Amino acid sequence: MSTRRKLVVGNWKMHGSHAANAELLQGILAGGPVNADLAVCVPFPYLSEVAVTLANSNVAWGAQDVSAHEQGAYTGEVSAGMLREFGCRYAIVGHSERRAYHGETDQVVADKAKAALSKGITPIVCVGETLAQREAGETEAVVKRQLSAVIHALGHCVGEMVVAYEPVWAIGTGKVATPEQAQAVHALLRAQLRAAAPQADNMKILYGGSMKPDNAPTLLAQPDIDGGLIGGAALKAADFLAIARAA
């Protein structure tokens, strides 16, 4: 049985308002302590208010993206240094939506992960295959290629990232990888990390594909699934807390 403490991260995506955020965070904080680490990754405009609300709580917070660049003429970009300045703990990099809609390559994702780590921010590096890739039997090759780019970029700091496996075909579709399908890919990623990092057995690999209160217990019971990167269910305090309790 793994001794890794579970990590449950809410990815709010492009959702939120002052009122909705306050209500959601109040609900999460009122839920009392859970036996897992919790974090929320929120849109850039809300980072400072979330930082204030969650100060002195057990809930960490992070961004949904970060620039690969340190500073300069990159209109609309937000650097790791800016995020770090007011206490950002995590940054999601390489989410399938960024790869698909913004054309982020494996190298760009690796550069973003490196930029985050250089400022002491833990990158949550997302990897995952599309339905077409899974049906073509390419799952293993795709996720290994995606992770390999990051391993190469981070060098001896590989052990400081969090990895999230998100089968693209299971995001927001209501389809979920079976616990066995998810565990198989998590085990594959763990083996790849072991070859690169001595501390691979202590690294967290999260599952991110339509995890909800009803399927969380069986997914989180798998030996190599160390938590969740939660989308829709993270927008309801009761659902988010139910998943955290399952962890």
Residue numbers in the known binding site are 11-13, 172, 210, 231-232
| Active-site residue, from 104, 129, 166, 186 | 166
Distances (CA, A) of 194 to 188, 200, 220, 240: 10, 5, 21, 31
Give the C-alpha separation, 207 to 243, whole Å. 12
| Active-site residue, from 95, 97, 104, 186 | 95
- Catalytic site residue 166? yes
Q: With beta carbons less than 8 A apart as the criterion, state whether 107 and 144 touch.
A: no
Report which DSSP code applies to 215: T
- Token pair listed for 163: 């990895």
Position 214: which residue type? D
Q: Please enumerate, by residue number, every residue annotated as part of a binding site for substrate.
A: 11-13, 172, 210, 231-232
Give the C-alpha separation, 97 to 108, whole Å. 14
Q: With beta carbons less than 8 A apart as the criterion, state whether 62 and 121 touch.
A: yes
Give the C-alpha separation, 193 to 163, whole Å. 10
Phi, psi of 60 (to 5 degrees): -85, 170
Give the C-alpha separation, 11 to 58, whole Å. 17
Q: With beta carbons less than 8 A apart as the criterion, state whether 190 and 223 touch.
A: no
- Catalytic site residue 95? yes
Active site residues: 95, 166
